[in-house]
A and B are shown apart, each in its own frame.
Chain A
């Protein structure tokens, strides 16, 4: 064969192989043509606190941990539980024992099998006073037997109510029935840890050169404050069905710079700064997206002894809540698809529809009229104006909302409000010491169940900075923990909330992103935004 003929044949063969290759590069379910470069690049606000699943406490760190490690259960794009390392679970009749069956083919990135003992080791780590994880409280919230005593140093971690019955069976004993326990094992704190590696390298086990993980990805690069890269884990049991090859997280502190870099094509995803969604959705209709999140935003009354006398009168609290025109805040100030809030629990929560309150059914004009009436009943009016201080932490958005709220009260009710903003840590300390009158608050659910919000207003809750206390409310939340159907109990709790108005619900948050239109399957219906790179893909342009 001549050299020219050889070259021609080689060219045709190569082209043929390439064509076959490209023809195969379609999404197995949707049939969309996939991009040759399956790299997903997104922006994070700050460097994450840790990559150790038992230690990580921030949202962005948990996102990385979810890719690197796989827990017993995962969430699908709708936030529903799907098998992870466990293929399923069984609950005892009294819901105090949960038994998880682990899959045979789960492996660590070094090829070792993932066993029930890896979970036992990790969970004991999570509660051990020696590791001192800031998320020890989460294990306590899960009601695992003896967790509280171990955290308090009264028992050894080996006494924790979690046992490896055999390599494939994990048994968890709870100190009280908890119907939503399985939902809680999607949290990073409950992910397994590789005992050999942790013991060999100590705190350095999460360094790129040491880390061994069992998730769909392995850490291949980590330059703190700049970028981290995770790439496909060849040992992952579902690697064949994983499409994204590489996920890169870039630390970009300034959200406007991040937006510019997105528009320059450097990022596949970034947050949209407040107020810019309407413009961006017009200019980039395929890329500006907004969807509900499992987060609330509110102002809390100081109902403790150090709080103002006026707030102890429920009519004052209700009047202030009624006079807020939430639509102005959500549509004109934030304008990112946030939803006006009349309940404490966001409507986006799973298995619970917050009841429609009387306030919600009124028009704003009716609310304003009622507010005037209630405030007059409480003894406040033009001759005796209500005065109080309103506190928020330093942020443009918090400031805008506080100014709008105070102006609404001034115009409609003649209320005089003194605004003060504080640096974050100072704010937390002042609010935690009940050294305030009315203070900003917000919460994003740790798990997709109404108790993650309603718990916050119970008497013993550490987050209950307003010191609201209602025995009936507490009893309902306690009862819900073991109820077969907790929804009616939560409905009652929300009704008590509407009646007592211990905080002013303002809005329920939205995820507002610029997302490259090439990215497929972003879980907009997962209100916790527990996303997994393995579920994403990028289509060919």
Chain B
């Protein structure tokens, strides 16, 4: 198992390297640069700026210097747009915010989704099932860009209960709406996947055998049905985890959280190459790690899987 983990991590390095080279190439191909402005800069001014950021160097050298700085100094370079800040700063400020509301949203979506799904499956074709399914569908139909305005109008303007946005060090009042907005549609999906998976497991032969042996319902559910039920849920949770951890641009936009998702999209729009590459590397690394964790969790849930 350990050698598998090491092998996977080693494969991750060239994967991320290729990801960065592809992102770098795409940025160079996109029209407009970080210093393209409404009033075009005089050539001398542009030359000074390009020299300062090393953009006057050949592309291969820019890429080489970029990697060398990361490896030798863990320095992702200065932002081209936010002149007083560097990429390390931007990630250090935005990532913890995304991580906080993302983890909470993930937790809320998983716990509520799984409980709803299981409740619906074990009370199949009862009012609990119908209520859980209806709630799941409704939640799925409410992605964060719809939830955002609804929540702000309801809780801020009409009820006056919660601040309309901001982060304020992550105080709970500021967390509620971002977490709800981000978690609802995932919660709906998780509930539906859990329900169908649980129904399938409950109809399988080994559960019938367990029932025939006279095991109580609780034992059947928790000791025998739970693990196989959660396998498809885990496959779904992996990418969701990366997505919510790295920040949602819609949540950042609507709730002014200052999370990393907003910086990522802004960097693409402003051609802030340094920030875009830095965040791409972070996303790539997170994806690799979370995929690895998902695979390991899979093995734990299903001992038939061997690496």
Contact = CB atoms under 8 A, between A and B. Distances in A.
Does chain A bind chain B?
yes
A136 B48 CA distance: 10
A256 interface: yes
Given A52-B84, A224-B82, A129 B166 contact: no
Nearest to A149: B44
Interface in A224-274: 224-227, 250-254, 256-257, 260-261, 263-264, 266
Contacts of A424: 32, 269
A204 B86 CA distance: 10
Given A55-B83, A153-B44, A253-B252, 9 more contacts: A46-B266, A251-B258, A254-B254, A257-B254, A260-B149, A261-B165, A264-B160, A428-B38, A429-B31
Given A47-B82, A425-B269, A426-B31, A263 B36 contact: no
Contact of B42 (A129, A140, A153, A226): A140
A55 to B, nearest CB: 5
B306 interface: no
A137 interface: yes
B254 A151 contact: no
Contact of B167 (A223, A256, A429): A223
Interface stretch (B15-23, B107-115, B151-159, B221-229): B151-159
B107 to A, nearest CB: 23
A460 to B, nearest CB: 10
A134 interface: yes
A425 B36 contact: yes
B36 A134 contact: no
B227 to A, nearest CB: 42
B149 A263 contact: no
B81 interface: yes
B263 interface: yes
Given A134-B45, A137-B45, A260-B153, A206 B40 contact: no
Contact of B48 (A129, A254, A426): A129
Contact of B152 (A151, A227, A257, A443): A257
Contacts of A78: none
A425 B163 CA distance: 34
A152 to B, nearest CB: 4
Contacts of A250: 165-166, 256
A260 B167 CA distance: 17
B44 A151 contact: yes
B243 interface: no
Interface in B237-290: 252-254, 256-259, 262-263, 266, 269-271
A49 interface: yes
Interface in A423-455: 423-426, 428-430, 432, 443
B35 A49 contact: no
A280 to B, nearest CB: 14
A462 interface: yes
A223 B258 contact: yes
A260 B157 contact: yes
A260 B254 CA distance: 11
B283 to A, nearest CB: 18
A52 B239 CA distance: 40
A242 to B, nearest CB: 26
A428 B253 CA distance: 25
A425 B270 contact: yes
Contacts of B156: 260-261, 264, 266
B39 interface: yes
A151 B93 CA distance: 34
Interface string A133-144: 010110010000
Contact of A428 (B36, B45, B259): B36
Interface string B142-182: 00000011001100110010011111000000000000000
B152 A260 contact: yes
Contacts of A23: none
A132 B44 contact: no
Residue of B32, B82, B94, B152 contacting most chain A CB atoms (<10 Å): B32
Contacts of A132: 45, 48-49, 51-52
Q: How large is the interface on B (under 10, 10 to 19, 20 to 34, 35 or more residues)?
A: 35 or more
B37 interface: yes
Contacts of B52: 130-132
**Which 9 pairs between the two chains have the least Cβ-Cβ distance?**
A425-B32, A225-B258, A226-B258, A261-B164, A132-B52, A50-B83, A132-B48, A129-B48, A462-B40
Contact of A227 (B30, B51, B166, B252): B166
B256 A252 contact: yes
B164 to A, nearest CB: 4
A37 to B, nearest CB: 17
A366 B182 CA distance: 57
A463 interface: yes
A425 B164 contact: no
A207 B85 CA distance: 9
B267 to A, nearest CB: 12
Given A226-B167, A266-B163, A429 B256 contact: no
A250 B257 CA distance: 11
Contacts of A423: 32, 269
B90 interface: yes
A263 B37 contact: no
6 contacts: A49-B83, A55-B84, A137-B42, A226-B257, A251-B256, A257-B165
Given A129-B51, A264-B164, A425-B33, A256 B271 contact: no
B41 interface: yes
Contacts of B160: 264
A257 B149 contact: yes
Contacts of A251: 256, 258
A203 interface: yes
A86 to B, nearest CB: 27
A429 B262 contact: no
A218 interface: no
B39 A254 contact: no
Nearest to B266: A46
Interface string A23-66: 00000000000000000000000110111100111000000000
Contact of B164 (A52, A257, A443): A257
